[in-house]
Chains A and B, each alone.
Chain A
């Protein structure tokens, strides 16, 4: 009797799937940080939220989130624990998961107040030795923002002011402080990942200048420009193919969203 019920159930499922068409497909489950503007938050304010919405609509799938702060074990406890199926933004070279096609390319930028007329886009600028430079640091494992290493190799670490990458997570914009510090003069300039800098530069009253970091010498181990992709599990080829297809077809709309958030695109 049990097996009969089970068979009926299976048939019903198939029938519903066929009859209802694309809407009945499994939801697009996104692994997201609930408090990580401008990328994402629980209210859907971030540009990754907007892009996720676009992708879900395009694939005729309902959008669902699994929320988890992006801390140690994020991939392990979200994507790889199968609580969700896609991380919206990862460096395309990130080894832990399978990247889709890259959907944007951005760079670390120098941020400064317009009224300071600093006009710096290189770590070799002589003026840098006389300025205080804000950088984000994690302290985490062996990780560094690339700017940290450039300052260290030029013996400019004394000029650096560290801000934690995680910021104060009890506040709605944990990573904003470094841009505020430029605006209110606590630091002369800051080296910040482009999407963060571009977004918060729009949200301070002081006019700021955002200039991508110029390429450094090829001997340097640092790089400042990164291709960003979505990430899926290594064995999830079907979802990767579907996302690649959306990125190809809807690239213009995606770039429009990014520009609206002030993301410097390379």
Chain B
């Protein structure tokens, strides 16, 4: 961390007027002060941890997953002068989800499989490479990963860059030398596990989850020792309470989530062993309570007829103790999922006035089409309102915490069910939102896609004939497929929406102290809009569609820069690849119906773009 950035952090702490005497060893180190605030924050909006002020050292930029930076040199009045400062290629033309890290005058980029780590010296022009670490993960992981060979980024701590490899391994690499510090095989690709999510570093440990729910693996989150990589504990999301780390300290708010061994009893016989519920999205952390929060994936197996019951703890938001992994509370967002609505979305942590009093909130924009607002201390659902066309449920009963589902929109194998909104890809996918403390708005990269669940097709798997459902996805009502939705958290309503007609918005969002919001489109436009109105202020066409998350940082020259990957791919974006036929209704899990035009607008890419004034 440069001296300037240490000063920035200290200055921010002093704004909160607490803990100025404490030594900064962020990130991955000590706790921040409680209730930090930022300049110009909306009334009574407080942060649970420091947001980015110059560096970007963890996936979301901060533990609260705000994806907000206080940097304000680039603002609404000058963003139209933004231009390309440098570009460089990562050399891997696959889906570039995730985001780079920047600190110590260095940018660190994790590529899609083979998951190389590239360190770029920002003091030199032209993307000068300091070193490249090549981990050579097991190539068999490529055929197992469901939805392109993406990686969602790295974290920094203890002089190391820590990230996941597709073959279910976690590595730590020395930031200066690029040498591997440790390498831990956490999951097993032979059983269908892959790792695509971004780990986070909390104090002296690394928190990481697995992927592969569609292959019937069993989801978990694990803690590794930051020094050695040794696994400290593992908390499963299905199975008996001992495996799930549910004990005396667990208090679910709703009766539906209370009871002994629900991770076993809410499944037929022993199906929790194949129960999915993986953790391939984002993990957020509250230093004040030392709790971390994450959502779990869809239940396995996919066919809901085969798993009568609530199927806990699939599609659930968990609060766990970062030290022990013990569950504090859980809220199952959808019981017995029949649409593939993973709830691995980001959980944004913010303290603010809500419903007339100060509350500690989780804001969770769901794949289901609802924005969920929960009390972070108890797991109580405070609000669930839709942000895109949604018809699988008409709303939520806040007294029971249950969705008011439409039985006609549930899927059953061999039964035709038409017009389910949103489709399995959700009203948003794993691609993360941003929250600005200045506007009180959540900026959601949204989709408007519906689906028909049709007849039965013969398929074959590993030599064995199977029967598969024929799922077709297509644009939802309203003549648009994507939208950047600005959601007024305090008032549970949409403030504005910037529609994208052609494709879903499948890039992450960045909000800044200059009241500029950045996001990208699948057809390759990188855009800046006014954080308060959604008015488009600037756009630039990059080489390949954007499915990554923009970041901002202070360069060695003290100027503000904005960086983003350009490389179409991921579940929906993979349809852009030449080897995926747009005529093949089975490719990419039925999304071609919604994405069939993408080849006309973009092609695979692998470029890092840096913009400045």
A: contact size bracket: 35 or more
How many B residues, CB 8 Å from partner?
Answer: 55
Which 3 A-B pairs give the minimum distances between C-beta atoms? Answer: A139-B216, A221-B414, A142-B469
Distance to closest chain B CB from A76 (angstroms): 5
Cα-based distance from A90 to B189 in the complex (angstroms): 25
Cβ-defined partner of B214 (8 Å) among A89, A140, A158, A162? A140
Cα-based distance from A216 to B599 in the complex (angstroms): 44
Cβ-defined partner of B465 (8 Å) among A74, A137, A157, A226? A226
A153 touches B (CB below 8 Å)? yes
Cα-based distance from A74 to B459 in the complex (angstroms): 12
Cβ-defined partner of B302 (8 Å) among A96, A142, A161? A142
Cα-based distance from A140 to B274 in the complex (angstroms): 11
Chain A 151-190 against B: per-residue CB contact (8 Å), 1 yes, 0 no? Answer: 1110001111110111011110011000000000000000
Q: Are B143 and A73 in touch, CB under 8 angstroms?
A: yes
Residue ID in chain B nearest A168 by CB atoms: B190
Q: Which residues of chain A are within 8 angstroms of B276 by Cβ–Cβ distance?
A: 139
Q: Are B307 and A138 in touch, CB under 8 angstroms?
A: no
Q: Are B302 and A141 in touch, CB under 8 angstroms?
A: yes
Cα-based distance from A167 to B468 in the complex (angstroms): 19
Cα-based distance from A187 to B471 in the complex (angstroms): 33
Cα-based distance from A40 to B271 in the complex (angstroms): 29
Q: Which residues of chain B are within 8 angstroms of A39 by Cβ–Cβ distance?
A: 462-463
Q: Are A90 and B460 in touch, CB under 8 angstroms?
A: yes
Distance to closest chain B CB from A41 (angstroms): 11
Cβ-defined partner of A195 (8 Å) among B307, B463, B584? B463
Q: Are B305 and A149 in touch, CB under 8 angstroms?
A: yes
- Known A-B contacts A73-B143, A149-B467, A164-B215; the reply to A144 vs B460 at CB < 8 A is no
Q: Are A91 and B589 in touch, CB under 8 angstroms?
A: no
Residue among A39, A138, A152, A226 facing the most chain B CB atoms (10 A cut-off): A138
Distance to closest chain A CB from B298 (angstroms): 9
A95 touches B (CB below 8 Å)? yes
Q: Are B462 and A70 in touch, CB under 8 angstroms?
A: yes
Chain A positions within 8 Å of B, measured between CB atoms, are 33, 36, 39-40, 48, 68-74, 76-77, 80-81, 89-91, 93-96, 132, 136-146, 148-149, 151-153, 157-162, 164-166, 168-171, 174-175, 193, 195-196, 221-223, 226, 228
Q: Are B413 and A162 in touch, CB under 8 angstroms?
A: no
Residue ID in chain B nearest A195 by CB atoms: B463
Q: Which residues of chain B are within 8 angstroms of A71 by Cβ–Cβ distance?
A: 143-144, 462
Chain B 460-495 against A: per-residue CB contact (8 Å), 1 yes, 0 no? Answer: 111111111101000000000000000000000000
Cα-based distance from A33 to B461 in the complex (angstroms): 11
Residue among A74, A169, A223 facing the most chain B CB atoms (10 A cut-off): A169
B580 touches A (CB below 8 Å)? yes
B405 touches A (CB below 8 Å)? no
Q: Are A36 and B273 in touch, CB under 8 angstroms?
A: no
Q: Are B190 and A162 in touch, CB under 8 angstroms?
A: no
B456 touches A (CB below 8 Å)? yes
Q: Are A164 and B146 in touch, CB under 8 angstroms?
A: no
Q: Which residues of chain A are within 8 angstroms of B192 by Cβ–Cβ distance?
A: 139, 164, 166
Q: Which residues of chain B are within 8 angstroms of A48 by Cβ–Cβ distance?
A: 463
Cβ-defined partner of B461 (8 Å) among A70, A162, A169, A171? A70
B300 touches A (CB below 8 Å)? yes
Residue among A76, A143, A146, A222 facing the most chain B CB atoms (10 A cut-off): A143
Q: Which residues of chain B are within 8 angstroms of A95 by Cβ–Cβ distance?
A: 457-458, 586
Distance to closest chain A CB from B452 (angstroms): 12
Q: Are A93 and B458 in touch, CB under 8 angstroms?
A: yes
Chain B 392-423 against A: per-residue CB contact (8 Å), 1 yes, 0 no? Answer: 00000000000000000000011000000000
Distance to closest chain A CB from B527 (angstroms): 32
Q: Are B270 and A153 in touch, CB under 8 angstroms?
A: no
Cα-based distance from A158 to B267 in the complex (angstroms): 8
Cα-based distance from A148 to B217 in the complex (angstroms): 18
Residue among B215, B308, B460 facing the most chain A CB atoms (10 A cut-off): B460
A-B contact pairs, 5 of them (CB 8 A): A140-B461, A157-B268, A162-B270, A171-B190, A221-B467
B16 touches A (CB below 8 Å)? no
Q: Which residues of chain A are within 8 angstroms of B274 by Cβ–Cβ distance?
A: 137, 139, 162, 164
Cα-based distance from A77 to B456 in the complex (angstroms): 24
- Which residues 285-333 of B have a CB within 8 angstroms of A? 300-303, 305-308
Q: Are A139 and B459 in touch, CB under 8 angstroms?
A: no
Q: Are B467 and A153 in touch, CB under 8 angstroms?
A: no
